[in-house]
Amino acid sequence: MRNRFQALALLVASLPCLLTGCRGQPAGLASSTVPVDPARCTVLGDAEGSAWGMVVLFVPFFTRQAPLARDRAIESVPGAAGLMDVSLSYKIYPLILVTLTKTTVRGKAFATAD
């Protein structure tokens, strides 16, 4: 009887983990609705930005790390107006009661001739 109670308690305690999942648009990175004209832009070089998030006892903190990583990647190259050829990596570092997440955005920074 005691083992059944422990199994049930473990199932109930792990239920939030089983019911949560990814939501939203990854990193706020979507296909551009405005095409970039190669004649009017200059590739400035490689850009990279990252941001950290945290989940403590199933409660997320710092959940906007993807847009922040994107903005930091653009800011990492002086004069950059945006990114092209973008890639996103998402790493999870689970600890006992805390889970750390690191989102990294890489791409080629460009400037427009406007």
Q: Write the CATH number for 54.
A: 3.30.110
Q: Is residue 17 part of a domain?
A: no
- In the chain, the number of structural domains is 1
Looking at the DSSP assignment, which residues form a beta bridge with residue 101? 53, 92
Q: Is residue 12 part of a domain?
A: no
Chain centre to alpha carbon of residue 88: 7
Q: Is residue 85 part of a domain?
A: yes
Lowest mean per-residue pLDDT among 13-17, 52-56, 69-73, 82-86: 13-17
pLDDT in tens, 8-17: 666 566 655 5
Residue 76 clears pLDDT 80, i.e. is over it: yes
Residue 25 clears pLDDT 50, i.e. is over it: no
Q: Is residue 5 part of a domain?
A: no
pLDDT given at position 82: 87
> pTM of the full predicted structure?
0.68
Residue 98 clears pLDDT 80, i.e. is over it: yes
Q: Is residue 1 part of a domain?
A: no
Domain that holds residue 69: 24-112
Q: Is residue 66 part of a domain?
A: yes
